[in-house]
Structure 1
């Protein structure tokens, strides 16, 4: 027995203690992956063919990180994101260097970039005009627009449901009101006299500069299953929404938007229903008004109004649903991140907007990644090329917002390993001590 075996054992045990100590030190580090020391025995090459020769010690063949899943802890920060499954966040520094991490503690810097310790989170950005995600190619650093989202006029969404969608129920039990002059009738509509109409309701609409306006609808039962509809914009006297439209009006009469007709079952008639509604029906119509506004918003202000699925039943008047696609200006107030990495911005005007989508990357051999510190790794020849994609696709894990992945260090196991490594170190020290005593004996021979 020589000193070589014991010395190599001391070196290997010392390395093992370093690895265990590093695991213990990072037991609370978010996204940390523990490591283990792997050992190999050593033989002198000239003795390799002999089975009677003892080895010359041990060496550390590898320090292998273990990429098992850590526990998930919840937080109160929507930008804390945990990966559940395989994959790494792809981050980029200011110089364009790419690295990968499992640490999902992200913040927004003063320029709007989502980053972790100066490393910008990358993903798919959105087209500034359409708002759609631009997927494919090289992921880019995700930057939020923290300023104004901008305003949109009612009817400006361009969708099939642009404008106002209103579903109402008018009370079938209400009496018919005669538009002739008193004392036989109630006369023309007066918005200040509730005896001249049956029901009314209002909707808020927005002009092109995001200024809100009130559009009030007045419903008057003028015949069996027939309701007159008139409108008032910002409290002004009722006028036709479309100056060229004179449906339901007579010379010198109060202008009327048109009429809502219902069948014997209380369902709204339209041009396509059976039976078809008369020509003056306005189940869907185009509303247009010339704005008289000091803000100078675009005029005429035009949008569609749709009463589809409205009813006439013997119950109280009510607005069952109302939707309109305009909104005022708003600023970013919060963020939410979906399982697939889609980042939604929440704005002060109640709107949400997709502002980007983060991506994940995975490798053929995760243990081949080069550690960089700060819970980051770099691609290497041994790791292979990264596969980048949306979370939840292929072999990539999904995301959990307002959560973090804990270190995967098992502290109890590491403390047991620490005791074992300490005993190994002591045992190897004893072999050196024994060899020293043998040499002392030889030197003492006379």
Structure 2
């Protein structure tokens, strides 16, 4: 008789308990993946494999296999917490910084990328996104225009500068004037912007000069004849166009009945404009220029030339006046107020003027054999020959999972199942110890034979 089987069983049960204990210890570790002890039987055979002894000599630990199933996703209050819903790993790396280098000098990667499912990220003093081990998150940086192109992944650094202003170059004005309205202006010289009885309707929009200073532009609609409307405009209270010292319209919109209420419909009316050299527009686009103006606070705005005013959506129907769309493409300067991350990994910088601009995009990695990754601790794995080379792409593309910001992936360890496995391993340990005890008693019986 041999003690080999029982001893190997004790070792196997002990290692199984070690694996279970590690799983239990990491049940609340975000991004942690459970492991499973896998065993194989052992037989003693002759060198050529023709041994006749079919009695096994025990068990050995074949592998500790990591289980990369999806963990539950829980929401948090931190916008930099990230969870991967699906396949993929975040890429992080240790960096080396030259203490004598300028503060804006990019850090140098001190090691190959490591891979993690733990999305507990923060921002360090230099603006880099890092984890609790101070490893930087890797991805693609956007250029000055917010364009992101796939490139060699590098440490992601959040911007600190604000966004420059943009001068208004296009305005879209979509409105309906009431065909039942009374004629209020038989000529272009009898409008008084302070007297609502001299025009029918008005609406306003804020535009911006090249320094980002706001200019209040108000449009006045005056019906001068059946199906004919004059459009006046003021900038900070001053008329954009004058004639003989009196306000003059910037355009005249004609709504013939055959147009179905739209001046740009086929066979319909037209828009006659009087700025930018004057002319007739059949598509609703007319040029306007805004001169330098003085605001109520005494500041002076810069002139804005060559704005394209699109009134192609104007209509004249028998219903009340209403503006359905009034937009312009300029904005004031803004300061960075926060960041947000979408499901494709694009990091959007949000500014105080309401604008957003891409700052970077996170790159994920997948492996053909993720169980071949080498665990390094600190919620990180390293690529090995067994795992194969990483496949790199952006979240949501190919077989990559998508990101969820403000959330974390919990451990995929089922604590109830692990406790049951622990009881089973304990019973196995006791049973193997019993086989050793029994064989000891048998040997003692043999020794005591007389």
Taking a change above 3 Å as real, the CA distance of residues 178 and 387 of structure 1, as seen in their structure-2 partners, is: closer
Structure 2 residue corresponding to 1:116, chosen from 131, 143, 146:
131
Q: Could you tell which deviates more after superposition, 226-235 or 294-303? A: 294-303
Q: Could you tell which deviates more after superposition, 110-119 or 371-380? A: 110-119
Shift in Å, 1:205: 0.9
Q: Is 1:404 aligned with 2:398?
A: no
Q: What is residue 223 of structure 1 aligned with on the other side?
A: 225
SS at match of 2:87: coil
Unaligned runs of 5+ in 1: 156-162, 181-185, 241-245
Q: Is 1:9 aligned with 2:9?
A: yes
Taking a change above 3 Å as real, the CA distance of residues 53 and 316 of structure 1, as seen in their structure-2 partners, is: closer
Shift in Å, 1:297: 6.2
Q: Is 1:90 aligned with 2:83?
A: no
Taking a change above 3 Å as real, the CA distance of residues 58 and 178 of structure 1, as seen in their structure-2 partners, is: closer
Shift in Å, 1:401: 2.9
C-alpha distance in structure 1 between counterparts of 2:423 and 2:441, whole Å: 27
CA distances 1:169-189 after superposition (whole Å, capped 9, x unpaired):
222222223456xxxxx9532
1:362-377 pair list within 5 angstroms: 362-377=366-381
CA distances 1:77-96 after superposition (whole Å, capped 9, x unpaired):
33332222221112222142
Q: What is residue 121 of structure 2 aligned with on the other side?
A: 106
C-alpha distance in structure 1 between counterparts of 2:329 and 2:168, whole Å: 5
Shift in Å, 1:11: 1.8
Q: Is 1:431 aligned with 2:448?
A: no
8 Å CA contact retained: 1:368, 1:380: yes
CA distances 1:275-301 after superposition (whole Å, capped 9, x unpaired):
452654564222223324677765444
C-alpha distance in structure 2 between counterparts of 1:439 and 1:121, whole Å: 63
RMSD of aligned residue pairs (Cα, Å): 2.6
Q: What is residue 152 of structure 2 aligned with on the other side?
A: 138
C-alpha distance in structure 2 between counterparts of 1:132 and 1:239, whole Å: 37
Q: Is 1:358 aligned with 2:386?
A: no
Taking a change above 3 Å as real, the CA distance of residues 267 and 142 of structure 1, as seen in their structure-2 partners, is: farther
1:115-264 pair list within 5 angstroms: 115-117=130-132, 118-128=134-144, 130-135=145-150, 137-155=151-169, 163-179=170-186, 187-236=189-238, 238-240=239-241, 254-264=247-257
Q: What is residue 101 of structure 2 aligned with on the other side?
A: none
C-alpha distance in structure 1 between counterparts of 2:339 and 2:350, whole Å: 6
Shift in Å, 1:273: 4.4
Shift in Å, 1:324: 0.8
Taking a change above 3 Å as real, the CA distance of residues 45 and 216 of structure 1, as seen in their structure-2 partners, is: same
C-alpha distance in structure 1 between counterparts of 2:115 and 2:300, whole Å: 51
8 Å CA contact retained: 1:38, 1:60: yes
Q: What is residue 393 of structure 1 aligned with on the other side?
A: 397
Q: What is residue 305 of structure 1 aligned with on the other side?
A: 309
8 Å CA contact retained: 1:91, 1:121: yes
8 Å CA contact retained: 2:73, 2:83: yes
Taking a change above 3 Å as real, the CA distance of residues 382 and 146 of structure 1, as seen in their structure-2 partners, is: same
TM-score by length of 2: 0.85
8 Å CA contact retained: 2:254, 2:269: no
TM-score by length of 1: 0.86
Shift in Å, 1:422: 0.8
Taking a change above 3 Å as real, the CA distance of residues 121 and 23 of structure 1, as seen in their structure-2 partners, is: same
Q: Could you tell which deviates more after superposition, 164-173 or 379-388? A: 164-173
C-alpha distance in structure 2 between counterparts of 1:295 and 1:435, whole Å: 101
SS at match of 1:219: strand
How many residues are matched? 422
Shift in Å, 1:365: 0.8
SS at match of 1:315: coil
Shift in Å, 1:201: 1.5
Q: What is residue 327 of structure 1 aligned with on the other side?
A: 331
CA distances 1:142-174 after superposition (whole Å, capped 9, x unpaired):
22214412221112xxxxxxx110111222222
CA distances 1:226-262 after superposition (whole Å, capped 9, x unpaired):
11122111112x132xxxxx8xx6x565333121111
C-alpha distance in structure 2 between counterparts of 1:287 and 1:112, whole Å: 43
C-alpha distance in structure 1 between counterparts of 2:178 and 2:44, whole Å: 101
8 Å CA contact retained: 2:262, 2:269: no
Q: What is residue 243 of structure 1 aligned with on the other side?
A: none
CA distances 1:352-410 after superposition (whole Å, capped 9, x unpaired):
22222222211111110000112211100110011111222222222233332221111
Q: What is residue 103 of structure 2 aligned with on the other side?
A: none
C-alpha distance in structure 2 between counterparts of 1:434 and 1:110, whole Å: 65
C-alpha distance in structure 1 between counterparts of 2:141 and 2:345, whole Å: 12
C-alpha distance in structure 1 between counterparts of 2:184 and 2:116, whole Å: 73
